[in-house]
């Protein structure tokens, strides 16, 4: 097995991003149990959210979203302005859906049918990062089919027993190698992993 690194291929780099997660691997967001119990650590993230999001994103070229995430982000970002909002709203977006309803966010292309094959082909045509935000069901499928190259996490120092798990069952063990680790605020960890093939 070897570590797939940037520069070894001219194809795109599919990055699975979970902006917030508890140590017990439950996703954390504004309304989830993990973030609600994170106390002062959550305030650190919210007070500097744009900087953290920009750091998580890196040199991205497009976003990959599920249908519900597309609607969620559109409702919260389409009317905003500023450097980070302008960047998000202007990025090309690919929305995976089992319906033919058009995506809601700007600059979005609908992906239906054999989505995994379309995403694999999409990676070959990209030179930057293809980021997956939220979209847990989609993310799990991509991980299970070895279509994710890199994982970035902001981890809260808290263990919770409920919520939506970031990782579901997989058909095989998925090995990771730590690429970088840094501390945010008082005790949050920003971790970057590469999948070992």
Query: Would you state the pLDDT for residue 47?
Result: 56
Query: Would you state the pLDDT for residue 115?
Result: 92
Per DSSP, the chain holds a count of helices (H) and strands (E) of 7, 8
Angle ∠(50,67,98) on CA atoms, nearest 5 = 160
Instruction: Judge contact between 121 and 7, C-beta under 8 A.
Output: no
Query: Would you state the pLDDT for residue 34?
Result: 45
Query: Would you state the pLDDT for residue 187?
Result: 75
Domain boundaries, the chain: 13-195
Which listed CATH number (3.40.50.150, 3.40.50.2000, 3.40.430.10, 2.70.98.60) goes with 13-195? 3.40.430.10
Over its length of 197 residues, how does the chain's per-residue pLDDT go in tens digits?
344 444 444 456 787 766 566 555 555 544 444 444 444 455 555 555 556 666 555 556 889 999 999 999 999 989 998 877 888 899 999 999 998 899 999 999 999 999 999 998 888 888 778 888 778 888 888 888 889 888 888 787 777 666 667 776 777 888 999 999 988 777 778 888 999 98
């Amino acid at each position: 097995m070897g570590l797939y690194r940037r520069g070894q291929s001219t194809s795109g780099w599919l990055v699975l991003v979970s902006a917030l997660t508890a140590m017990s691997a439950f996703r954390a967001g504004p309304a989830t149990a993990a973030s609600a119990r994170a106390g002062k650590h959550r305030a650190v993230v919210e007070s500097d959210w744009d900087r953290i999001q920009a750091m998580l994103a890196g040199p991205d070229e497009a976003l990959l979203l599920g249908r519900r995430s597309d609607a969620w982000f559109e409702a919260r970002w389409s009317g905003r302005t500023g450097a980070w909002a302008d960047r998000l709203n202007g990025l090309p977006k690919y929305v995976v859906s089992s319906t033919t309803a058009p995506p809601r966010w700007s600059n979005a292309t609908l992906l239906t049918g054999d989505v995994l094959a379309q995403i694999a082909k999409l990676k070959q045509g990209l030179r930057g990062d293809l980021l997956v935000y939220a979209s847990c069901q989609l993310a799990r499928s991509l991980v299970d089919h070895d279509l994710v190259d890199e994982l970035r996490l902001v981890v809260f120092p808290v263990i919770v027993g409920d919520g939506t798990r970031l990782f579901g069952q997989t058909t095989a063990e998925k090995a990771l190698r730590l690429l970088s680790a840094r501390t945010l605020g008082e005790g949050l960890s920003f971790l970057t992993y590469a999948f070992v093939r």
